[in-house]
Structure 1
Amino acid sequence: MRSGLAADDPRVLHDSVKPLDRALPRHQVTGSTDVGDVSWVTPTVQLMSACLPFGTPGHSWQFVAQGKLPASHKGMVDAAKATGAVAAELLTDAAVLERAQDEFRRVTARTRCPIPDGVLAPPLRAAQS
């Protein structure tokens, strides 16, 4: 389950941190964003935090309206702190940075771009005409 809780769990928000099980493959969240383009050039990080009750539909007015609630702000601040801590570790520990770069190279080496070689995006086609 994506949230890490059983379907019959009565809680509406997580109140704990799901432990990292290094034996299991990482859960990859996919979608179409500008981050997707950046992630092909450099390692990126994405963190999911408790900001909304379970069942809130994405891209909905309910999602937007709940973003103004104190619980949502707390979740966003916690996520920012965690992301900042990762950045600080990468900037101060060369071994951690090297492991991230190695993982990035391994993942991008086994993934092929679905756009055939020689095909240019529309703005590039116009510039070359």
Structure 2
Amino acid sequence: MSQRIHRSIDLPLRTGLNRNELWEAHDKGLIKCWEVGRQRAARFPDLAQQCLAGELPVLGWKGGVNRSLKKLEKYGSLKYLAQWQGLRGEDLDVDLGEERVLTCSRTKMVVMFTPDRTKYFNQIAETNE
């Protein structure tokens, strides 16, 4: 069964929610991450441009890359993916049950965004940014 979280870029940012509603609801905090991405795009247009160009810059969640590593693949958080979509000015579109692969246009690093936290927390130290 799909656990797709979708939210239109045309919707306003939510207000008045408590911590539990923001981070523990059915979306697991993805909507909040996406909203933060939207806000950061307005404050940091250069960062938004990097994302629009297909780069995966280092953000507050695992998944960004600042250089190529020996191993050209790594895992990232779905929260990173949600924030990245917000930075790009896109609709939020993440499935909590699926992995999604993106390649950074600048470093050519391949990042698999996964709902399985153990994959990105257990990466060898070499892949940590």
If the TM-score is normalised by the length of the shorter chain, which range does it land in? under 0.3
Scaled by the length of structure 2, what TM-score is found? Answer: 0.23
- The structure richer in helix per residue is 1
Scaled by the length of structure 1, what TM-score is found? Answer: 0.23
From the CA coordinates, give the structure whose radius of gyration is larger.
1
- The structure richer in strand per residue is 2
